[in-house]
Structure 1
Amino acid sequence: MKIKRTILSSAASITLLAALTFGSAVAFAAGSHDESHGHKSAIGAPGEASEVSRTIEVKMFDNYYEPEEISVKKGETVLFKITNAGEFVHEFNIGTAETHAAHQEEMMMMVEHGVLEADKINREMMKMDMGNGKTMEHNDPNSALLAPKEAAEIFWKFADDGELEFACNVPGHYDAGMMGELTIQ
């Protein structure tokens, strides 16, 4: 599947602007942003630096990735070096289409609470207690949330099966096409 580069469309821009300005009708449910981003055994597990077989550099732009597709081998441990080269906040998240859909709701909640703005992240607010000791910290091993010009690394060991994507779940970005296919050979 070839992923085409998509600049944030007018509709997606309006959606993101409305979400950032006014919030959304998504009901607030005290949940943890630091759980269930798809880092279950079906997609793999955090990798060890000593097991890395190769490094893949990923650049995030407004609103696409370079590269647009990634192929890995079963059981391979990859170091992803991720850079946000765009002017907006972006995310690199490894998961299934289903886990991305669930994560998008959590990301919308971050926007509604002022944690995410179009071009910055309030990392202190991420630590805010949402109830029952849950926070909106974005510290999952399969994901990096980056403000413009920030960089991060993810060490990931891929499972033997599963249909995966890498995606940006900032409101409006996935819908505008900011995702790519991750093939396990």
Structure 2
Amino acid sequence: MTKRTNRISRRVLIALATSLAFAAPAVLAHGETHEKINQATKVISTEEHPFGKEGDAKRVDRTIHIDMSDFMRFGPSDITIRQGETIKFVVANKGKLMHEMVIGTREGLKQHGEMMRKYPGMEHDEPFMAHVGSGKKEEMTWQFTQAGEFYFACLLPGHFEAGMVGKITVIKG
């Protein structure tokens, strides 16, 4: 390369870097706008399960914080809720391993855990599940429409069996 070509290349690189520096915030802001629109227009599932249905994030009765750890425990692991309450769960992974919180009946959780052992790469996304990476937090909103005893568990292979399960008691409202 000649000195002149080298100078031109350097100028082009500087101009390109400058353009990208100014464009990046606009691109990120554009993504945020789409995220806000998606949250605002999200359709809430009306599918009813024995343990309730997806809750409306705009109509939360209370928030419950759940911690998960590599000791294969939830904190708290025993929760009492009134029938009809809509709960926002803020699920925080305090460990280094991936964890999840899945709400269901004891039998349903056992069956789902078996399926995950057979198909460990299985991907799923339901409103009663929160998959949380190390050091991260996720939220899920759930309305408990039926009274009874329900559970939440981490169904990643070996976690449920190690005791990573909690109980939800829903009392008549």
Relative to the length of structure 2, the TM-score reads 0.67
TM-score (norm 1): 0.63
Superimposed CA distance per residue, residues 85-136 of structure 1 (whole angstroms, 9 cap, x where no aligned partner):
112111101101111111112322442xxx3xxxxxxxxxxxxxxxxxxxx3
1:162 alignment partner in structure 2:
148
- Residues 41-62 of structure 1 deviation map (CA, whole Å, 9 limit, x = unaligned): 3110000012101000111001
2:54 to 46, 60, 63: 46
Structure 2: stretches of 5+ with no match in the other structure: 1-46
Aligned counterpart, 2:27: none
- Which deviates more, 100-109 or 88-97? 100-109
Contact 2:53 2:145 in 1 (8 A): yes
Q: Distance in 1 between matches of 2:149 and 2:62?
A: 21
1:133 aligns to what?
Answer: none
Match of 1:83 in 2: 92
Deviations 1:127-160 (A, max 9, x none): xxxxxxxxx3321000112221121100000022
Cα separation, 2, equivalents of 1:53 and 1:107: 32
Q: Tell which structure's C-alpha radius of gyration is larger.
A: 2
Displacement after TM superposition at 1:68 (Å) = 1.5
Structure with higher RCO (Cα < 8 A, 6+ apart): 1
More helix as a share of residues: 2
Find out whether 1:178 has 2:161 as its counterpart. no
Q: What is the Cα-based RMSD across aligned positions, in Å?
A: 1.5
| Percent of aligned pairs with the same amino acid | 38
Q: What is the alpha-carbon distance in structure 1 between the residues aligned to residue 163 and residue 88 of structure 2?
A: 24
Q: Aligned in 2, Cα 1:148/1:110: closer, same or farther, shift over 3 Å?
A: farther
2:92 pairs with 1:106: no
Q: Which runs of 4+ in 1 moved over 4 A?
A: none
Which structure 1 residue ranges, 5 or more long, are not aligned? Answer: 1-38, 116-135
Inter-partner Cα distance in structure 1 for 2:113 and 2:48:
18
Helix, strand or coil: the match of 1:163? strand
Partner of residue 82, structure 2: 73
